[in-house]
Amino acid sequence: MDIARSPQQLGAILRRYRKKGSMTQTDVAAKTQLRQATISALESGEVGTRLKTLTDVLAALDLELVVQPRRKSLPSEIEDLI
Amino acid sequence: MDIARSPQQLGAILRRYRKKGSMTQTDVAAKTQLRQATISALESGEVGTRLKTLTDVLAALDLELVVQPRRKSLPSEIEDLI
DNA sequence: TGGCTTTATGCGCCATAGCGTATATGTGGC
DNA sequence: GCCACATATACGCTATGGCGCATAAAGCCA
């Protein structure tokens, strides 16, 4: 599932989509005018990453966000503990 | 729709949900341990807002994010111009 | 195992978010 | 018009993201 409630989950999802598109962090960095190190930080779930960085990467991966009410999601809460 | 591709769209969505829940920025600030001014900035679409701030507010409003491939969305692109 | 690619870290620098505190500006309701 | 309540701004401060540049540490595959 691609539901995120934390920067960590968001980072993991972005990494999955990036790999699905056969791109490296360096590729994404080039597309977004960011550094490879910055992409690394985002995917690692650094809590301080800026929204602009997130939306830039989403654009590079051709993704978008949907905001929705939380569903009961035991799986996702368990995932939080990992 | 609640699709966001930019901090601005995200802020607008959050504001709508907050009002739907009859909460003030001060209420959300209290719940999240952030300042009312910070909530104001987030809803205004300040690009530098931190991911942690976003996820904290999402939690306070009982919302979550879904990441999905971009759909062709003329409406959303028009919205960008507003 | 060696060698190449990919990802994670380090360091010094600058810009800025978020802080506390406070005030100004909206915005409704009466 | 007045007055609460809500939201937007301001100022000085500290913490930290992202930068360039560089290197270390994994991963991967022949």
Angstroms from A65 CA to nearest CA on chain B: 5
Cβ(A7)–Cβ(B73) below 8 Å: no
Average pLDDT over residues B57-61: 96
Separation between Cα atoms, residue B8 and residue B47, nearest integer Å? 8
Q: Could you tell me if residue B18 is inside a domain?
A: yes
Of all residues in chain B, the one with the smallest CA distance to A12 is: B67
Closest CA to B8 of A51, A76, A41: A51
B34 inside domain: yes
The residue range of the domain holding B44 is: 7-64
Q: Is A2 within the bounds of a domain?
A: no
The span from the first CA to the last CA of chain B, in angstroms, equals 16
pLDDT tens-digit readout, A21-63: 999 999 999 999 999 999 999 999 999 999 999 999 999 999 9
Which pLDDT value is given to residue A18?
A: 96
* Residue B67, H or E segment: strand B63-69
